[in-house]
Amino acid sequence: MVVVLAIAFTAWSAHFAWQLTNATHRPVGPLPKDFPFPMEAVRFPAQDGVPIAGWFVPCPEATRVAVLLHGGRRNRLETVARARLLRAHGYAVLLYDARGCGESGGTMLSFGFHETNDLLGALDYLRGRGFHQFGLLGFSQGGVTIANAAGRLRDLCWVVLECTPSDLRLTFDHDMHNAYGVPGWLVGALVMPLVEWRLGVSIKDYTPPRDNVANLHCPLLVIAGGADVRVLPGEARELFDHANKPKWFWLIPGAPHTNYYPAAGKAGGKVYEKALFQFIDFAVK
């Protein structure tokens, strides 16, 4: 019986590790017909050569550009509403599919580890278009990507980290407990070594976002949900506490781990818009 259980546990762990890291390629579709501004389909290389697909929203006379990073296993469609909002406020905008997602290249997902090359490639692409002042907004894995890349980022005007884990190991623990009712360390005993092997990285190379965020040197807004069970409010606060000033922390009461804009609805969207641009206007004044 013990042997059977061990084999079953090993098989399940391998399946789960593959599911965690498998690419989620799918057609994103045409440019949104209801998007009120001109938009271009673009492609550019990540810094390690992986082809990245996205949309660029030009803004005449704009000197600043916002880069939007979606959450894990999603694609650029998740950030379209924010692109509309930022463009309406005078920003050019780039939204792109992270590697392994949407229409970008790449065969695996790495939870913001190798995705840093996508962000750095995006900034190189925008510099080629004449931009040298950047605002970054990342949701969940997108925020982890920004934190992980912080030491290699420059020319930043502001950064927004939304639903961003302070430590991915904690988020993994919460996911295991919420989904299966077991402690994450038990499942992770074999899953994580398999994930490391598949991605070609070691847990020894992993620095939590709460430590990497200290490498950001620009105004920062951390947004967290009061009912987030994947990134607990205290963990979001820990991420914030490790960051440099000037910084702001916004806890949205009752909010789960979700895309707050436009999920908040019309009234909530207005609150989000006001809070976001109060922060941005301060950052660029």
Q: Give pLDDT tens digits for 148-202.
A: 999 999 999 999 999 999 999 899 889 888 887 777 776 667 787 888 888 888 7
Residue range(s) defining the domain that contains residue 251: 40-166+209-284
> Does residue 9 lie within any of the structural domains?
no
50-88 pLDDT, tens per residue?
999 999 999 999 999 999 999 999 999 999 999 999 999
- Residue 7, C-beta contacts closer than 8 angstroms, at least 6 positions apart: none
Q: For the domain that residue 55 is a member of, what is the CATH number? A: 3.40.50.1820
> Does residue 19 lie within any of the structural domains?
no
What does each C-alpha distance from 33 to 18, 36, 58, 80, 192 come to in angstroms? 36, 8, 16, 12, 42
Angle between helices 2-21 and 184-199 (to 10 degrees): 60
> Does residue 59 lie within any of the structural domains?
yes
Give the predicted TM-score (pTM) of the model.
0.95
> Does residue 108 lie within any of the structural domains?
yes
The total number of structural domains in the chain stands at 1
Task: Mean pLDDT check: name the lowest of 10-19, 137-146, 223-232.
Answer: 10-19
